[in-house]
C-alpha cells in the first residue's frame, strides 16, 4: 500500500479555481525524491527531491477524474533509491507547492529500469 496525501495547498488551489480566481499555479510536473518521513497535509515539499519531470500526458477518464502520467528513462533513474513522489506546480523554480505527497519503501534503480508514475486525482 502506498501512503498518500493531498496537501492543504491543493485544497486551497481548488477553492481558488472553483471561486473563479485566475491562478497560474497548477500541477504540471511529477517530482521524485529519496527522503524518508511521515507525510502530512501540511507538507509543502518532498523531504529530499532528486528529479522533476513534466507530465507525459494528462487525461480525463471521468467528469471528476484526472490521470497524470510521467515517465523517466533508465538513464535518468540510474542510482536513485526512490521513496517519495508528488505533483508540483507549473513554474520552473516553484518550491513549496506540492499538490500530493506519496511515500513507499525504497526501490533502487540500477540503470536498467524505467519509471512510469500514473497519479489519479478524483474530485469528490
Alpha carbon distance 117, 124 (integer Å): 22
pLDDT at 23 over 80: no
71-117 residue pLDDT tens: 999 999 999 999 999 998 866 555 667 888 999 999 999 999 999 99
**Mean confidence (pLDDT) of the chain:** 84
Q: What is the pLDDT of residue 45?
A: 85
Whether 7 contacts 44, CB under 8 Å: yes
Could you give the number of structural domains in the chain?
1
Per the model's pLDDT, the better-predicted residue between 61 and 116 turns out to be 116
Q: What are the φ/ψ torsions at residue 15 (nearest 5 degrees)? A: -60, -40
Q: What is the pLDDT of residue 26?
A: 78
Q: What is the pLDDT of residue 76?
A: 94
Alpha carbon distance 80, 32 (integer Å): 9
Which three-class secondary structure state does DSSP give residue 12?
A: helix
Domain residues for the domain of 86 are 3-16+25-122
- Reading the block at residue 31, the C-alpha cell is 517530482
Amino acid at each position: 500500500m502506498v501512503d498518500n496525501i493531498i496537501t492543504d495547498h491543493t485544497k486551497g488551489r481548488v477553492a481558488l479555481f472553483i471561486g473563479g480566481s485566475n491562478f497560474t499555479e497548477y500541477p504540471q510536473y511529477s517530482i521524485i525524491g529519496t527522503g524518508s518521513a511521515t507525510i502530512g497535509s501540511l507538507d509543502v515539499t518532498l523531504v529530499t527531491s532528486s528529479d522533476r519531470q513534466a507530465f507525459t500526458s494528462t487525461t480525463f477518464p471521468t467528469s471528476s477524474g484526472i490521470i497524470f502520467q510521467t515517465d523517466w528513462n533508465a538513464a535518468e533513474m540510474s542510482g536513485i533509491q526512490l521513496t517519495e513522489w508528488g505533483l508540483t506546480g507549473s513554474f520552473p523554480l516553484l518550491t513549496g507547492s506540492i499538490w500530493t505527497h506519496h511515500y513507499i519503501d525504497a526501490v533502487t534503480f540500477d540503470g536498467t529500469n524505467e519509471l512510469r508514475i500514473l497519479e489519479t486525482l478524483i474530485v469528490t
